[in-house]
Chain A
Amino acid sequence: MESSQADINREIAAAAQQPGGPQPKIDYPPYRSSLLRHPKQPAHLVDPESVELWAPVFGHRDVADDEADLTIQHAGTPLGERIVVTGRVLDGDGRPVADQLVEVWQANAAGRYRHQRDQHPAPHDPNFTGVGRMLTGPDGTYRFQTIKPGPYPWRNHVNAWRPAHIHFSIFGTDFTQRLVTQMYFPGDPLFPLDPIYQSITDPKARDLLIAQYDHDVTTPEWSTGYRWDIVLTGTHRTPLESDIEEDNA
């Protein structure tokens, strides 16, 4: 029998009793798809070596400037609330991650992905694909313009809804910092009900996935603005001069 939201809420509450730390618990039964897809053996601790101490290099031949604007990819203007999302990618020691690739993808304002597997009967927007790419600047800054995504239903349990989010894929300066995550919007009423978000059982760590509204990023007569800084884990290799931009501060 399919679970209800009340069933899931009970499981989320039970899982929250066991300290899980700031990572998502990969063994998290309220997220049903995880049951058969998480390793049961503990990860083996190893000192990174060889290529693991380096990250792939991306550059301007990989990413065009206009890929950071998800609102200009079609003839018309997409529907929805125009927003700018910006922030800095930093390593675990606070150093900016410069010239590195950030990939984003998301649903449209109605909560529909432009993806064959998304069967949610909300409208597609012919003027919105929902994919962006950009490189971080010398101080680790990324910035893109898009439409605020809508929440959407999924089949985890009866009446399951994901809080609105943007998927992020981020590289660091070494292989071990690779991160794929989701950015959320402040004050979403779906947070307590969502097993993917709640799989991070430490509330302080969960909060790190929520962007902040920033009126300084908002522009008059045009768009609202959100700021979200992305701190990666620490690097295992002492960065070279060429990895670090001059700090003018």
Chain B
Amino acid sequence: MSAVPGQTVGPFFHLGLAYDGMNELVPPGHPKAIRLHGHVYDGSGAPVPDAVLEIWQADPQGHIPRRPGSLRRDGWTFTGWGRAATGPDGHYQFATLEPGATDTGRPPFFAVTVFARGLLDRLFTRAYLPDDEAALATEPLLTAVDPARRPTLITTREPDGLIFDVHLQGPGETVFLTYPRLRDAWS
């Protein structure tokens, strides 16, 4: 069957996609809350003020959440999914928990989807935690990409959490991903 093609999220996505608490997978006051944040930049290095990022992640024990409640958060259930729009300065942020490894010996990551006005189809990437250097050094995806571009897939640790910038184009362009069934559907 032929997959339906994507189209840009457009300039008015806040109307349909924004809701209270969308970027708070846990309340910011949660004792284990971290801030995952960064900027989205275009090919000239200018911030992108109308992008939206979604993250999908395991919980700290490495379990993949299978519970509803991301749209109406109860403050207790960790659903593993959130959405954040960039502000006028291209900055986005999430309050969340650090994902654990879902597979022993593998470095944990956030699965990330990026949408923006001007971007005709959504982009996929990963944001790895930076801490387990041994696991990162042997991670198949990271070893397969150009070493100069590898850092675009790894978050940077700071006191309150993690920084992950997205460069849609140009120097430091983020490594974006595709998957076999996408390639097959559209080859």
Contacts and interface: CB of A to CB of B under 8 A. Distances in A.
19 contacts: A22-B5, A24-B8, A24-B121, A36-B170, A39-B176, A40-B173, A41-B176, A44-B176, A46-B140, A46-B177, A51-B102, A62-B72, A92-B1, A92-B185, A115-B15, A178-B124, A179-B4, A182-B8, A196-B8
Contact of A56 (B48, B79, B178): B79
Given A39-B123, A131-B15, A51 B1 contact: no
Interface stretch (B63-71, B130-138, B156-164): B63-71
B76 interface: no
A93 to B, nearest CB: 7
B32 interface: no
Interface residues of B, number: 79
Task: In the A-B complex, list the 9 residue pairs whose CB atoms are closest, starting with the nearest.
Answer: A105-B16, A59-B68, A33-B118, A56-B81, A234-B181, A37-B118, A62-B71, A43-B178, A36-B43
Interface residues of A, number: 80
User: Majority SS of interface residues in chain A?
Assistant: loop
A26 B102 CA distance: 33
A26 B121 CA distance: 7
A236 B80 contact: no
Interface of B: 1-17, 42-44, 46, 48, 54, 56-58, 64-72, 74, 79-81, 99, 102-103, 106, 109, 111, 113, 115-124, 140-141, 144-145, 149, 168-170, 173-187
Contacts of A16: none
